[in-house]
Amino acid sequence: MAEQDFSQMISETVRRLNENTRRIRVLEQSFERMEDRISKVEESVLSKLSDLKLEFDKISIKMNSILEKIKFVEEEIAKINKELEKKASKAELKEFENFIDLINPITSKFVTLDQVERIVEEKIPKKAKVQ
C-alpha cells in the first residue's frame, strides 16, 4: 500500500508538474504576444513621432516663408507711405486748381482797354445826370 500511495503521490506530482508547465507555457506565450504588441505600439509611436516632426518642420518652413512675405509687404507699405508723403494732398490740389482757374485766359473773363473806357464813359454821364 505504501508503494501505491507513493506511486499516487508521484503521479499527482507529475500531473501537477505538467499542469504547472502547461500554465507556464501559456503565460510565456501570452507574455510573448504582449511583448510583440508593445513592440508594434512602440514602432507605431516612433513612426508617428517621426511623421509629426516632419510635419512640424514643414509648418516651420511655411511660417518662415510667411514671415518673410509679411516683412516684405511691410517694407513696401513703408515705401508707399514715404512716396505718399511727397505727393500733394487733396486740399493742395484743389487750391492749385482754383489758382489755375483764376489765371486761365480761356475761362476767365478779361476786359479789354476799349471795354473799360466805354463802360466808364457810360457810367460817368449817368452819374452826372443822377446828381
Under 8 Å between Cβ of 96 and 88: yes
pTM over 0.95: no
Residue 123 is predicted with a pLDDT of 81
What integer best gives the mean pLDDT of the chain? 88
The C-alpha cell that represents 99 in the structure block: 489758382
The percent of residues in the chain predicted with pLDDT above 90, rounded, is 56
Look up residue 131 and give its three cell numbers. Answer: 446828381
Largest CA distance in the chain: 178
- Runs of H (alpha helix) within the chain: 2-86, 90-103, 113-130
- The residue among 26, 7, 4, 25 whose CA lies nearest residue 15 is 7
Q: pLDDT tens across 59-111, in order?
A: 999 999 999 999 999 999 999 999 888 887 888 888 888 888 777 766 666 77
